[in-house]
Amino acid sequence: MLDTVCGRFAPTPSGRMHLGNALCALLAWLSARSHGGRIILRIEDLDVNRCPKPYAQLLERDLDWLGLDWDEGGSYSGAHGPYYQSECGTFYAAALKKLQRQGLLYPCFCSRAELHAADAPHLSDGRVIYSGRCRNLSPKQVRQLSRRKRPAFRLRVPEETIAFTDGCQGFYSQDLASECGDFLVCRSDGIFAYQLAVVVDDARMGVTEVVRGRDLLSSVPRQMYLCRLLGYPVPHYFHIPLLLAPDGRRLSKRDSDLNLGSIRSSLQDSRPLIGLLAFLCGLLPKPQPLTARELLPLFRWSSVRRENIRIPAQLYRVPAKGRLMIDTKGT
Ligand code: GLU
């Protein structure tokens, strides 16, 4: 039974938080806290070389500055640790074994070039549907190929449509075989795949709701399938719009001019930023400085926009050095 609400922040600290990450943290916080729920901070540093520890520490300070508190995780201890995915390998290995015992895993020796062959069907999100090349290798072929290369592991998917209702985006369905294909659960370098890790961690941490960017909406059917195979409850999902720069490009951690570091240096406190984020996502009719706590009574998922949000140019002024700064006087 999913009774008490438990939300989570699950950032990948491969750089300083940007505005879109801040919006995601704000909405995850509002959603859980508006129901008196708990929040866990989980650091998704599976690829530990891409996530230097100082970024996770800065992230905690940025969340503090935003006024978004959490109950356990990050540098706080609690009942559901470890909270850094780089320390959770034994949990993922146990889940992998469980899938293996069901006969659903197979080693895949395909190179990147083979996966991205010209005739491979591409999905709108740029992913390639796996051709099934290694699906039916004989034990002898596996032994031979293993001598030359360490394999990745894929999970067989059934011919089945998985449907669910997202709390922000509404109805969504995907045919696993034709729209997704057998997917990776462990990479050839031994790093567990995001899809597996996220499902294992949400379950072992008792997470009941997942709030994240809508770029991950198409992952849900895979994650629901994994929940079923591993005997986990399925959390409620809320996929929020992405923030786009005024020129329409997606914000990324590489755009250092839009990160919390430069935003914080241009503001005395976080209220103008919270007000701007609330306005952009549909919770306020105009940007007006306020704290996350003051926003709680105004929060409802039905007010949150579904479509990606282009930040209007007039909300930004670009000084000579090219650093973007928030100008909350504009509307
Ligand atoms: N770690 C992912 C990110 O920072 C989010 C994954 C999730 O929320 O499931 O984009």
Provide the phi-psi class of 7: left if phi over 0, else alpha when psi is between -120 and 50, else beta. beta
Q: Does domain 6-86+241-316 have CATH number 3.40.50.1370?
A: no
Name the β-bridge partners of 107: 153
181 CA to centre of ligand 1 in angstroms: 21
Note whether 21 and 11 are within 8 A (CB). yes
Number of other residues whose CB lies within 10 A of the CB of residue 298: 13
Contacts of 303 (CB under 8 A, 6+ apart): 282, 283
Ligand 1 closest atom vs CA 12: 4
202 lines ligand 1 (CB under 6 A): no
In the chain, which residues have pLDDT < 50?
A: 1-2, 318-324, 330-331
b (16+ CB within 10 A) / e for 87-98:
ebeebbeebbee
Rounded CA separation 232/94 (Å)? 14
Least Cα distance to 2 among 41, 37, 44 occurs for: 37
Q: List the catalytic residues.
A: 253
Identical fold, 6-86+241-316 and 88-240: yes
Q: Is the CB of 44 under 6 A from ligand 1?
A: yes
Q: 88-240 maps to which CATH number? A: 3.40.50.620
CA R_g for the chain: 21
Extended strands (E) in the chain:
6-9, 38-41, 72-73, 105-108, 152-155, 161-166, 170-175, 183-186, 209-213, 236-240, 243-244, 309-310, 316-317, 325-326
Instruction: State the closest ligand 1 atom to the C-alpha of 8, by its place in the atom list counted from 1.
Output: 8
* Helix, strand or coil, per DSSP, at residue 267: coil
Tell how far CA 289 is from the center of its chain. Answer: 28
Q: What confidence score (pLDDT) does residue 316 get?
A: 60
**Cα 137 to ligand 1 centre (Å):** 33
Q: Is 198 in the pocket of ligand 1 (CB under 6 A)?
A: yes
Of 216, 197, 181, the closest CA to residue 83 belongs to: 197
Q: What angle, 0 to 180 degrees and rounded to 10, lies between the N-to-C axes of helices 89-101 and 220-230?
A: 80
**Using CA atoms, how far apart are residues 307 and 230, in angstroms rounded to an integer?**
33
Cα of 12 from ligand 1 centre, angstroms: 6
**pLDDT at position 78:** 96
Domain ranges of the chain: 6-86+241-316, 88-240
Contact call for residues 291 and 89 (beta carbons, < 8 A): no
Closest atom of ligand 1 to 24 CA is: 8
> Could you read off the pLDDT of 128-155 as tens digits, one per residue?
899 999 999 999 999 999 999 999 999 9
Whether residue 12 has its Cβ less than 6 Å from ligand 1: yes
Distance CA 137, CA 141 (A): 6
Q: Is 304 in the pocket of ligand 1 (CB under 6 A)?
A: no
